[in-house]
Amino acid sequence: MGKHVTVVLYALAMAAIIVGVDLAFFRNRFWERLTVNIGIVLVFGAFYLRFLKHPS
């Protein structure tokens, strides 16, 4: 149960950061926004695979 809660909170944090960056910096710039969003997802994915999937 604890692992599922961690994953949900992690996904919510990622979504909040993406929305915050979009609204703060890239409101009317589609390609820059898309590029930064993909970068954020890749960073979060790498962090998840490194630290959360294998906690030891």
C-alpha to C-alpha distance for 10 and 4, rounded to whole angstroms: 10
pLDDT of residue 52: 78
Residue range of the domain that includes 22: 2-52
Asked if pLDDT for residue 19 goes beyond 90, the answer is yes
CA 32 to centroid of chain Cα atoms: 16
Number of domains in the chain: 1
Asked if pLDDT for residue 55 goes beyond 60, the answer is no
pLDDT of residue 1: 67
Percent of the chain scoring above 70 in pLDDT: 93
Please say whether the beta carbons of 50 and 4 come within 8 A: no
Q: Residue 7 — pLDDT band, cuts 50, 70, 90?
A: confident
Write down the pTM of the prediction: 0.83
Closest CA to 37 of 11, 10, 23, 18: 18
